[in-house]
């Protein structure tokens, strides 16, 4: 469970925006990353023919290693499913 999947921790979009994003000089990270780690441009991006490849929504996690933010999100999701 959660081994390779994207758990919406927001880590990757907080480090470098994809080609649809833009860096937020004030907050850091992509300016289209919402408070709950959703992509505000999701509906626009999935209409693009190459969206399957980049940013590859639904293709799994692109940054699973040494990702503390993802680890914590998985931990909290596991707690939710055990309650």
Please report, as ranges, the residues that interact with ligand SF4 according to CB under 6 A: 6-13, 17-18, 20-21, 30, 32-33, 39, 41, 55, 61-63, 67, 70
Exposed, middle or buried: residue 23 (CB in 10 Å: 0-12, 13-18, 19+)?
exposed
Q: Tokens representing 15?
A: 């480090």
Comparison of 18 and 35: residue with beta carbon closer to ligand SF4 = 18
Length of the chain in residues, anyone?
83
The distance of closest approach from Cβ of residue 26 to ligand SF4 in the complex, given in angstroms and rounded to an integer, is 15
Q: Which stretches does DSSP call E strand in the chain?
A: none
Comparison of 20 and 27: residue with beta carbon closer to ligand SF4 = 20
Comparison of 48 and 55: residue with beta carbon closer to ligand SF4 = 55
Which residue, chain included where needed, has tokens 């469970």?
Answer: 1
């Amino acid at each position: 469970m959660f081994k390779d999947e994207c758990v919406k921790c927001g880590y990757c979009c907080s480090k470098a925006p994809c080609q649809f994003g833009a860096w937020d000089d004030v907050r850091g990270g992509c300016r289209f990353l919402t408070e709950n780690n959703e992509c505000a441009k999701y509906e626009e991006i999935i209409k693009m023919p190459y969206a399957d490849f980049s940013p590859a929504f639904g293709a799994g996690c692109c940054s699973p290693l040494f990702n503390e933010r993802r680890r914590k999100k998985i931990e909290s999701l596991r707690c939710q499913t055990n309650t």
